[in-house]
Amino acid sequence: MEVGIIRPFGPSIAKVKIPKKILNDLNQYVDQVNLDFEKRQKTDIGNTLVGDVTQEISIDPKTAEKIGWLQFLVDCTHEWIRLSIGQKIKSFKLKQSWIVRQFKNEYNPVHWHSGHISGAGFLKLPDNFGKHVQDKNKHQYDGGTLNLIHGTRQFLSQSKLTIRPEVGDFYLFPNYLMHTVYPFKDSEEERRSISFNAKIDEEIFDVYGHGK
């Protein structure tokens, strides 16, 4: 017997891989920013975001285009929308993209983004996030994981998707989808992630027709 799974409720989420060259260039960008005090001060947007983390670095439009990050986001969004609802976007306006440098005991609280679509992915990760205090063997530790949240838990419907980070993995989701990153411990190494906000065609996003 073949069983088909249909998911007509809840937002769709896309998972893609960041090309290695773009991944390496983004990491180099972060390293270069931190070698230049003035540039580090200029790109620091931590005071505008909700995370309690060491550093949040904005990516300027020219850098995003030069690295190929902008085109990557355009291509991924185009395919995600096509596969999800069978429509072709004609407009993609990047509002903001930034890199989060998170270390031991730091976190991002539950929040959502602006724009129409958002995403989050992983550029660099510690070898170890830590273990549970009371049970070091049986339970999977959630420190350092990305958690996407929608609605409430119901029969045959989970309200949370726990994503265990892998370098190069990137996820796209609607801007309203709530998400959080739990703090990790033990490791002194960096958890480096990247996010973005963008707008697409208003007539595709505005399913209620408010813009008409």
Task: Compute the distance between CA of residue 155 and CA of residue 209 in angstroms, rounded to an integer.
Answer: 32
Mean per-residue pLDDT for 164-175?
Answer: 96
E strands within the chain? Answer: 14-17, 55-58, 92-102, 108-111, 117-124, 146-149, 160-163, 169-174, 178-181, 191-200
CATH of the domain spanning 14-205, picked from 3.40.50.620, 1.10.10.10, 2.60.120.620, 2.30.38.10? 2.60.120.620
The domain limits of the chain are 14-205
Q: What percent of the chain has pLDDT over 90?
A: 80
pLDDT tens digits for range 1-57: 576 566 667 899 999 999 999 999 999 999 999 999 999 999 999 999 999 999 999
